[in-house]
Chains A and B, each alone.
Chain A
Amino acid sequence: MSAQRDALRTFVTERARGIIGITLLSGAVAATGFVLSVLLVWLLA
């Protein structure tokens, strides 16, 4: 029973890490893009 619980915990933890990691990475990428947009509009427009 404990082994099954551990396996389930690993299953859920790994997937949660994967999803959260990608979401945070995407957030960082999008934030960089937005800041660059603001800076370039301010500089060039």
Chain B
Amino acid sequence: MRMVLRPGPDDLKLIGYYLGKVLLGLGVIMLLPAVVALIAREWNAATAFIIGASLCLIMAGVSDAKLATNRSLTWAHGMVIVAVAWLVGTIFAAVPLMLSGRFETPLAAIFEVMSALTTTGMSVIHDLDHQPLSENFFRHLLQFAGGQGIIIVVLSLFISGGAQAGTLYAAEARDERILPNFIRTARFIFAVAGTFLVVGTLALFGALTLTGFTPTRAFYHAINLFFSTFDTGGFSPMQASMAYYHSLGVELVVMVLMIAGTLSFGLHFALWRGEPRNLLRHLETRTLAVTSTLFFGALAAGLILAGTYDSAAIVFRKGFFTLISAVSSTGHQVNPGVTYLTDWGVLAPAAIVGAMAIGGMASSTAGGIKAIRVGIAFKALTHDIRRILLPESAITVTTYSTGRRQVLRDATARSAMTVLLLFIVTFLLGTVVALLYGSYDLTEALFEAVSVGSNIGISIGIVDPLMPQGLMLIYTVMMWLGRLEYVAVFALWGYLIAIARGRTHA
């Protein structure tokens, strides 16, 4: 067995240098809610944001002065930077929330930020409906930054080297290279988000104005809802989530944005180029279409058989919205979480759990196992069955489309199955930990674990400001693992072992 090399001071310096860049980005992001706080005359919140931003910018300045280096990033560096950046970034971004006094403990503020950055969308805040405007804006802005990929945000602004950027881009679970250059890919992602930002915010503004909101209030809600919806985050400015608005128009616009958010940026690119056929042929589109149809069939049947709703219009409005919210991993709710337990029977919540587990498309802002992995796992299974049934001399080749025709290889199938299995193990562990507290039944524990582990955010009621701190910590780690799809976190673990036990020279 080959012994790994212990990372040297130069490696740690390089990692520290890039972490400084991430904090620089975060500091700049924090200045936006500070401006909102000043405009809204929320002096306490403004002070908290200025303190938070100053801490980030000071750390970034120190890192730039002391750790600047021209060394190139290796894949190991990239993975470690991304895994650590999501932890360090979360802690620094939680500072203004810790200072707000609206969280029971510092861990609750960290949970809230991890939930925001990973676009999970569960909240442990006290009295959300009376939260200062700037703090609420900050929560939604973090979902936008996290959904776009906080590292991508930073690298496209502050890092010029394409190769360096590529390492970080892939480590952040964004492995689809749409354009030949990573910086151009990151900028395309921003162009898509920017376009939808304008159109989506305007559409939401119109729908909210028709509901009776004043223009200022409509704009505030529209921009926040856009941030949390397009990036499949699921935060809402109000505690009741989408149910607060009682508006079919708002729900329809939100549904379009959720679908846009769950579509991979590669497929957005195909649409922009006028090649919709690529969208329809793609294995991921087909997998999502088949699984979503099956899950919606089960969900609707469950609601009808349980006698929850008896009109097609309500089954569609409540059930279909919830399904799209689950599949897209957004987590917006049109009814209180407890109703899934008390009113929705057994089949409908089970269908939601299945849809949440699969989640959306790879290389989108959605979470979950991802439809491409489920599609590949299914292809691998049918490939094996065909190989058993056909004569031994027959050569079986299985292909699938990801824009172009690909041959299914063992390594691809193994990689998809491994991540799929890791997600399932995480869901089960999260369920067992919740059950150990003795306060939740199996349905609640499984529902919440899948929702947290897949970064969805639909809550059945376990996550609340007074939930057990140990479970809150476990859920925080699950959100981190789910967002980075394990690889970067395992690389960090390996790196820590190498620091402790690696050889000092080759």
Q: Which residues of A contact B (CB under 8 A)?
A: 14-15, 17-19, 21-23, 25-26, 29-30, 32-34, 36-38, 40-42, 44-45
Contact across chains for A44 and B305 when beta carbons are under 8 A apart: yes
Which residues in A have their C-beta under 8 angstroms from that of B276? 21
Name B255's contact: one of A17, A21, A30, A38 (CB within 8 Å): A30
Name A23's contact: one of B256, B273, B305, B315 (CB within 8 Å): B256
B316 nearest CB neighbor, chain A only: A37
Which residues in A have their C-beta under 8 angstroms from that of B305? 44
> Given contacts A17-B272, A18-B195, are A29 and B300 in contact (CB under 8 A)?
no
Assess whether B274 is interfacial by the CB under 8 Å rule.
yes
Name A14's contact: one of B255, B272, B304, B315 (CB within 8 Å): B272
Contact across chains for B315 and A29 when beta carbons are under 8 A apart: no
Contact across chains for B273 and A14 when beta carbons are under 8 A apart: yes
6 A-B contacts, Cβ less than 8 Å apart? A21-B271, A22-B271, A29-B292, A34-B312, A37-B313, A41-B315
| Shortest distance from the beta carbon of B327 to any chain A beta carbon, whole Å | 10
Contact across chains for A22 and B259 when beta carbons are under 8 A apart: yes
The secondary structure that dominates the B interface is: helix
| Shortest distance from the beta carbon of B252 to any chain A beta carbon, whole Å | 8
Name B320's contact: one of A14, A21, A37, A42 (CB within 8 Å): A37
Assess whether B296 is interfacial by the CB under 8 Å rule.
yes
Which residues in A have their C-beta under 8 angstroms from that of B273? 14, 17
Mask, B253-278, CB within 8 Å of A = 1, is 00110011001000010011110100
The secondary structure that dominates the A interface is: helix
Contact across chains for A41 and B256 when beta carbons are under 8 A apart: no
Assess whether B129 is interfacial by the CB under 8 Å rule.
no
Contact across chains for B311 and A41 when beta carbons are under 8 A apart: yes
Contact across chains for B195 and A26 when beta carbons are under 8 A apart: no
Q: Which residues of B contact A (CB under 8 A)?
A: 191-192, 195-196, 199, 252, 255-256, 259-260, 263, 268, 271-274, 276, 279, 292-293, 296-297, 300-301, 304-305, 310-313, 315-316, 319-320, 323-324
Shortest 9 CB-CB contacts between residues of A and residues of B: A21-B271, A33-B320, A37-B316, A26-B256, A37-B312, A38-B312, A14-B272, A41-B312, A44-B304
| Shortest distance from the beta carbon of B353 to any chain A beta carbon, whole Å | 19
| Shortest distance from the beta carbon of B268 to any chain A beta carbon, whole Å | 6
| Shortest distance from the beta carbon of B260 to any chain A beta carbon, whole Å | 5
> Given contacts A19-B199, A44-B304, are A33 and B316 in contact (CB under 8 A)?
yes
Contact across chains for B255 and A26 when beta carbons are under 8 A apart: yes
| Shortest distance from the beta carbon of A40 to any chain B beta carbon, whole Å | 5
Contact across chains for A22 and B263 when beta carbons are under 8 A apart: yes
> Given contacts A22-B271, A44-B304, are A29 and B297 in contact (CB under 8 A)?
no
Which residues in A have their C-beta under 8 angstroms from that of B192? 18
Which residues in A have their C-beta under 8 angstroms from that of B272? 14-15, 17-18
Which residues in B have their C-beta under 8 angstroms from that of A30? 252, 255, 320
Which residues in A have their C-beta under 8 angstroms from that of B323? 33
Determine the distance from Cα of A23 to Cα of B259 in the docked complex, in whole angstroms: 9
Determine the distance from Cα of A37 to Cα of B293 in the docked complex, in whole angstroms: 11
Determine the distance from Cα of A18 to Cα of B256 in the docked complex, in whole angstroms: 12
Determine the distance from Cα of A17 to Cα of B268 in the docked complex, in whole angstroms: 10
Determine the distance from Cα of A43 to Cα of B275 in the docked complex, in whole angstroms: 38
Contact across chains for A34 and B297 when beta carbons are under 8 A apart: no
Name A17's contact: one of B259, B260, B271, B315 (CB within 8 Å): B271
> Given contacts A30-B255, A30-B320, are A37 and B271 in contact (CB under 8 A)?
no
Contact across chains for B195 and A15 when beta carbons are under 8 A apart: yes
| Shortest distance from the beta carbon of A35 to any chain B beta carbon, whole Å | 9
Contact across chains for A45 and B293 when beta carbons are under 8 A apart: no
Q: Output the residue of B268, B296, B310, B323 with the most chain A CB within 10 A.
A: B296
Which residues in A have their C-beta under 8 angstroms from that of B292? 29
Contact across chains for A18 and B271 when beta carbons are under 8 A apart: yes
| Shortest distance from the beta carbon of B11 to any chain A beta carbon, whole Å | 41
Contact across chains for B300 and A34 when beta carbons are under 8 A apart: no
Which residues in A have their C-beta under 8 angstroms from that of B274? 17
| Shortest distance from the beta carbon of B263 to any chain A beta carbon, whole Å | 7
Determine the distance from Cα of A30 to Cα of B292 in the docked complex, in whole angstroms: 12
A30 nearest CB neighbor, chain B only: B255
